[in-house]
Chain A
Amino acid sequence: MQFSEDELRSALRRKDPGPDFTQRVMDRLNSPEAAKGVKAKPVEGERWNWWKLLAKRLAEAGWRPVMAGAMAIVLVGFAAWMGIERYQSYMQQVQNRKVQEEKIARQAEEQAVRALRITSAKLNHVFQKVNGVPSTEPKIRRQTL
């Protein structure tokens, strides 16, 4: 079965919802839940606040790309901030570990030097005893390392 464009137009002609429709809309408009979000337009002069102008410009440019861009900036900023925080924390740990290791190394060095000195004195003493040379150095007390 074929049909013409006029017949399609006729099948889709506008239909009136009935005389009470406007009243029903106004009744819903005056209901408490509808009244919550209703705002009147500000009087002329108040109208071109900077933020309104900005909103208008953004709306003209298309909100979606602007919002997507803003979202991307926020996400990248957040990720960068997290990265910097973690890097700083890692560097702090490395620094602390280095200081600790240096301290241990210094202590070990001191102990090694002291041990060598004691060994040297003991060997010297033994050597003199063996050769019958009276000791010129004071008697070294036994030390525990």
Chain B
Amino acid sequence: MKADQQEHLRWAFERASHGDSSAFAELVRDRQAMVFSICWHYLQDRTLAEDVAQEVFLELYQRLSTLESCEHVTYWLRRVTVNRCIDHGRRKRNRRESGIEDVAEPAAEAVHADPLLSRKLQQALELLPEKQRMVVILRYQEGLDLAEIGDLMNMPLNTVKSTLHRTLEDLRKKMTRKLGGIRYAIF
């Protein structure tokens, strides 16, 4: 099933790169959750996240001729999304309009998890410096290994390691301050 889907996507990529817009729509449908989620978790603003995600896909359409394969598309999308999010995040910092608490969270697959803890984790994540936040998103949302994160963010492997370690410590401290006294799990 997964192999069939991969094959279908390769075919869609080939057609899209020759200008077929319906094939491009299939590519968008397949990658939209990845791009939008990076934007959403980083920017914590649904409207802005969707706008940035759309811009990334528009740029993808213009750059398709330079991309070699489906895997290259995924890599390119992650890289461009990371850069766009960091740019928009910097601009947003000065004109913050609405926090995560004001905005309805987008639909996600049902997972048995504590919604309060998830909410608080996202809020704590928003308080992190931009690079630390992006490292956590790429690690825990996208499941990338440290070398891939370093490659995407132009950071040496050891810097990624130390950043991730420091970020998790910061998150733990922030969570302790927010919900001090409640103990969930130890890792």
Contacts and interface: CB of A to CB of B under 8 A. Distances in A.
Contacts of B121: 3, 7-8, 11-12
Q: Is the interface of B mostly helix, strand, loop or mixed?
A: helix
Contacts of B108: 13-16
Contacts of B33: 14-17
A41 B64 contact: yes
A22 B183 contact: no
Interface band, chain A: 20 to 34
Given A13-B111, A14-B141, A40 B54 contact: no
Nearest to B34: A14
Interface stretch (A31-39, A68-76, A82-90, A119-127): A31-39
Interface string B11-39: 00000011101001100110011101100
A45 interface: no
A3 B184 contact: yes
Contacts of B17: 40-41
A22 B29 contact: yes
Nearest to A59: B66
A2 B36 contact: no
Interface residues of B, number: 60
A143 to B, nearest CB: 90
B118 interface: yes
A1 B179 contact: yes
A108 interface: no
Given A1-B182, A41-B19, A22 B25 contact: yes
B58 A12 contact: no
A1 B32 contact: no
Interface string B143-187: 100000000000000000000000000011001101111111111
A29 B58 contact: yes
In order of increasing CB-CB distance, the 3 nearest A-B pairs are A40-B19, A10-B113, A41-B65
Interface of B: 17-19, 21, 24-25, 28-29, 32-34, 36-37, 40-41, 49-50, 53-54, 57-58, 61-62, 64-66, 105-109, 111, 113-114, 117-122, 125, 136-137, 140-141, 143, 171-172, 175-176, 178-187
Given A8-B121, A10-B118, A25-B32, 18 more contacts: A1-B175, A1-B176, A4-B185, A7-B121, A8-B171, A10-B113, A11-B119, A12-B121, A12-B122, A13-B108, A13-B109, A15-B33, A15-B105, A15-B106, A29-B58, A29-B61, A38-B62, A40-B18
19 contacts: A1-B180, A5-B140, A7-B114, A7-B117, A8-B140, A9-B143, A10-B118, A11-B113, A11-B122, A14-B141, A15-B106, A16-B106, A21-B50, A25-B54, A26-B24, A28-B58, A29-B58, A41-B19, A42-B65
Interface of A: 1-5, 7-18, 21-22, 24-26, 28-30, 34, 37-43, 59
